A and B are shown apart, each in its own frame.
Chain A
Amino acid sequence: MEIFTENAGLLLDAIGTTLLMVLVAGVGSLILGVLVTVARVSPIPILRRAAFLYVQFFINVPLLALLLLAVFALPDAGLILPLLPTAIIVLTVYEAAYVAEAVRSGINTVSVGQIEASRALGLTLWQSLRLIVIPQSLRAVVQPLGNVMIALAMNTALAAVVGVVELTSRVNKINLVYAQPIEIFTGAGLAYMLIALAIGLAAGRIERKVAILR
């Protein structure tokens, strides 16, 4: 137990980095994912195709390969940012594909009558998307989006591989000094479970608040 108290500062710092990544990449991927979904249902064929390819690309390519590409390879082409922002950007564009998939399945739950009614009222496409379709579809997929956010929280650990000192990386370093793997890794596992639990509870709460009872 004293391992954790002795390294409290370092651990809190690391948890802070993890939470920062979850928060920024989470908000970013939600916004980007909704935009990709809008492109995917838009009447412009080229945008639909581009959004489809975007989602397919990120769903089929490992996050670790993208992280290595962005952190170690792209600087050769002069594209270089500090480490943490790079990791956050990669996480954002990666998870946005999953958000887009979830939101699209939500759009399918919006009943056709809603859309026909909005058209009958004379709303333009952009208005009916913004005011009618997207709000309802987001409400339908709160729980799936929560699962995407939990997956994002788990995926932040991969940033450790490219050198971001977040929770996983920090506990690994601490373990190399103290050599008490069971306690140290269990502690880190508990921290991740708490983060996931918090996201899950928040999703449940938001869902109860915004769910549409049909």
Chain B
Amino acid sequence: MSTPNTNVASYLYEVPGPRGRRRIIIGSIISALIIAGVIGAGLWQFGSRGQLDADKWTPFLDLAIWKYLGVGLLGTLQAAAIVAILGASFGTLLALGRVSKVRWLSWLCAGYIEIARTVPVLLLIYLMLFGLPQLGINFPVLWKLAIPLTLANAAVFAEIVRAGILSLPRGQAEAAFSLGLRSSQVMRLVVLPQAVRNVTPSLITQLVSLMKDTSLGFIVAFTELLYRGQVLSSFNHLLIQTYLVVTIIYLLVNGSLSGLASRLQKKPGRRRTTIASATMALPLPTPGGQSPQKAPHV
């Protein structure tokens, strides 16, 4: 993935002349030296403590370790899927309530969103883990993780969906109403599908953040990647190596999701813009005449 260097950054400096080029080369060399120095110092520090020795890393060539961590990754994905589905559904309902014309419902949803966004998830997990069992309420391990995460993420999903609904031109809803649709139909058939498509990049970004949050399963001892990593490290005593491997797995999985989000962001609503520009270019429909040619579907 190349460094995005579009928009403003390219206006900050003109095409450099000979002097500018020389400066850039000097700057490149200096910063390369500094970066290499930092990395080198880190590696030297690791090496001097024997953390780079081959026998500390060769265990990770064993397939059994990858199978063991793989089960953890599956747990992470499972928890993330559950939280994503529940959180997105609950969040959409909250967003609908938030934009509804019924005053008390809107206030209730707004209140929930504000509260859920300003209470740490860990506090909710501790409540599930240590608090509620004292009152005789005990959930299975997966739900001790999934319920707090759902409660917290629903609020964020609600804000994203609401932003999508508000960003849609009013004309869409007005046109749908004038076609005689009921307000539930307007929302379901016209507004929500477009709103969700507009905010897809944000939804995927939130999915990444949610995947990161499932690492809290570590605390409730739910079998997910970080928990498995911890168990593995207490077994093989290779703390640095194990945690680094786990970190890199997270980086790969979430990085590919983030990459998808930024690709989508670069071409926002490709389908919609082409239709919009196509309809702009079309001649106005003549009253009683033939309808203009159909917008091309992309």
Residue positions of A touching B, CB distance < 8 A: 40-50, 52, 56-57, 59-66, 68-69, 72-74, 76-79, 107-108, 110, 112, 115-116, 119, 125, 128-129, 133, 150, 154-158, 160-161, 168, 171-172, 175-176, 179, 181-182, 184-185, 188-189, 192-193, 196-197
* Complexed CA–CA distance, A196 and B4 (Å): 33
Q: Which residues of B contact A65 (CB under 8 A)?
A: 215, 226, 229, 243, 246-247, 250
Kindly identify which residue among A48, A112, A171, A184 contacts B3, using a CB–CB cutoff of 8 Å: A48
Q: A61-B254, A64-B215, A172-B130 are in contact. Are A112 and B11 (CB under 8 A)?
A: yes
Q: How far apart are B149's CB and chain A's nearest CB, in angstroms? A: 12
Q: A43-B24, A189-B119, A197-B118 are in contact. Are A50 and B31 (CB under 8 A)?
A: yes
Q: Which residues of A contact B48 (CB under 8 A)?
A: 78
Q: A41-B9, A43-B12, A176-B130 are in contact. Are A185 and B45 (CB under 8 A)?
A: no
Residue of B nearest to A193 (CB): B118
Residue of B nearest to A51 (CB): B3
Q: A52-B3, A161-B219, A181-B130 are in contact. Are A59 and B230 (CB under 8 A)?
A: no
* Complexed CA–CA distance, A66 and B247 (Å): 8
Q: A112-B11, A181-B131, A181-B135 are in contact. Are A157 and B226 (CB under 8 A)?
A: no
Q: Which residues of A contact B258 (CB under 8 A)?
A: 56, 59-60
Q: How far apart are B194's CB and chain A's nearest CB, in angstroms? A: 24
CB of B243 within 8 A of CB of A69, answer: yes
Residue of B nearest to A39 (CB): B31
Residue of A nearest to B241 (CB): A73
CB of A110 within 8 A of CB of B121, answer: no
Q: Which residues of A contact B255 (CB under 8 A)?
A: 56, 60
CB of A185 within 8 A of CB of B213, answer: no
Apart from A107-B8, A112-B11, A154-B120, what are 16 other A-B pairs with CB-CB below 8 Å?
A: A44-B27, A45-B3, A59-B208, A62-B215, A64-B226, A65-B247, A69-B244, A76-B49, A77-B51, A115-B8, A150-B118, A155-B120, A157-B122, A158-B122, A161-B219, A179-B134
Q: A48-B3, A56-B255, A77-B49 are in contact. Are A196 and B118 (CB under 8 A)?
A: yes
Q: SS class of chain A's interface: helix, strand, loop or mixed?
A: helix
Instruction: Give B122-155 as 1s and 0s: 1 = Cβ < 8 Å from A's Cβ atoms.
Output: 1100110011101100000000000000000000
Interface residues on B, range: 35 or more
Residue of A nearest to B76 (CB): A62
CB of B28 within 8 A of CB of A45, answer: yes
Kindly identify which residue among B12, B120, B122 contacts A129, using a CB–CB cutoff of 8 Å: B12
Assess whether B291 is interfacial by the CB under 8 Å rule: no
CB of A74 within 8 A of CB of B240, answer: yes
Residue of B nearest to A78 (CB): B49
Kindly identify which residue among A57, A60, A168 contacts B122, using a CB–CB cutoff of 8 Å: A168
Instruction: Give B1-21 as 1s and 0s: 1 = Cβ < 8 Å from A's Cβ atoms.
Output: 001110111011110100010
* Complexed CA–CA distance, A64 and B250 (Å): 12
Q: Which residues of A contact B3 (CB under 8 A)?
A: 45, 48-49, 52
B252-280 at interface with A (beta carbon < 8 Å)? 254-255, 258
Q: A69-B247, A185-B131, A189-B123 are in contact. Are A154 and B118 (CB under 8 A)?
A: yes
Assess whether B35 is interfacial by the CB under 8 Å rule: yes
Subset of 13 A-B contacts with CB under 8 Å: A46-B28, A47-B27, A57-B251, A59-B254, A61-B254, A65-B215, A73-B240, A77-B240, A112-B11, A125-B13, A157-B122, A175-B134, A181-B132
